[in-house]
Copies of this chain bind each other. A is one copy, B any other.
Amino acid sequence: MTHASEFNILHPEPLLIVVSGPSGVGKDTVLHLMEERGDQPFHFVVTATTRPIRESETHGKDYFFITSDKFAQMIEDDELLEYAIVYNDYKGIPKQQVRDALASGKDVIMRLDVQGAATVKKMEPEAVLIFLTTESEEELVSRLKARKTETAEGLNLRIATARQEMKRAAEFDYVVINKDEHLDEAVDTIQSIIHAEHHRTNPRKVTL
């Protein structure tokens, strides 16, 4: 006798979801809105970084701001799912945090730069990769300029990097446009993607 529950629909496997995209595209804002909505019990991965905390940020919420020594130890212990040097600072995803969340049955969502997302997909092909982008390259450049957290030199570096990153969307599973003033649409789309993924007959099984 065949029960629908055989398809893991009522108790679906938790997903490993990576939201990525060029710098300036609004990854943080989109994920914060998802977190605020609280529609589903996601675990939002908190990245560890060695870069200095910004005034608007909270330790343990935006990032775990850790020392270079602590970060080096995590690398040695192979306790990072992915790490990279970004603008002279280190960022990485603590493996244990992801394992614990998946074990509790929660979908895990992480925000990663494009290179980091590609690394995770290579290590874990069952991850769902979402590429967040703007309607046009001009829109992205204008958002980067509006940030004003950069030196002129830093800004040019970010723009050049973002231009290259825009070309890598095809390596992802889904692409979502974050339209200016239509943040809710991007969040709706990401939630639809996750909802749909839970209903695949061939569910993804993440094994970290």
Q: Which residues of A contact B (CB under 8 A)?
A: 1-5, 7, 9-10, 131, 133-137, 163, 166-167, 169-177, 188-189, 191-193, 195-197, 199-202
Contact residues of A: prevailing secondary structure: mixed
**Per a CB cutoff under 8 Å, which of B170, B177, B199, B200 touches A4?**
B177
User: Would B201 and A192 count as touching, CB distance under 8 A?
Assistant: no
User: Cα distance A166–B4 when bound, in Å?
Assistant: 8
Q: Taking CB as reference atom, which chain B residue is nearest A196? A: B196
**Per a CB cutoff under 8 Å, which of B175, B188, B197, B201 touches A170?**
B201
Contacts A10-B177, A134-B4 given: A196-B201 contact, CB under 8 Å? no
User: Would A189 and B195 count as touching, CB distance under 8 A?
Assistant: yes
User: Would B196 and A9 count as touching, CB distance under 8 A?
Assistant: no
User: Would B193 and A172 count as touching, CB distance under 8 A?
Assistant: no
Tallying the copies of this chain within the complex gives 2
Query: Closest CB-CB distance, A97 to chain B, in whole Å?
Result: 26
Query: Closest CB-CB distance, A83 to chain B, in whole Å?
Result: 25
Query: Closest CB-CB distance, A147 to chain B, in whole Å?
Result: 20
User: Would A197 and B199 count as touching, CB distance under 8 A?
Assistant: no
**Cβ contacts under 8 Å, A200 to chain B:** 173-175
User: Would B195 and A199 count as touching, CB distance under 8 A?
Assistant: no
User: Would A3 and B136 count as touching, CB distance under 8 A?
Assistant: yes
**Cβ contacts under 8 Å, A192 to chain B:** 191-193, 195-196, 199
**Cβ contacts under 8 Å, A9 to chain B:** 175-177
User: Would A201 and B136 count as touching, CB distance under 8 A?
Assistant: no
User: Would B175 and A201 count as touching, CB distance under 8 A?
Assistant: yes
Contacts A175-B199, A196-B193, A199-B176 given: A169-B7 contact, CB under 8 Å? yes
User: Would B193 and A189 count as touching, CB distance under 8 A?
Assistant: no
**Cβ contacts under 8 Å, A176 to chain B:** 9, 199
User: Cα distance A195–B134 when bound, in Å?
Assistant: 18
Query: Closest CB-CB distance, A119 to chain B, in whole Å?
Result: 18
Q: Taking CB as reference atom, which chain B residue is nearest A171? A: B201
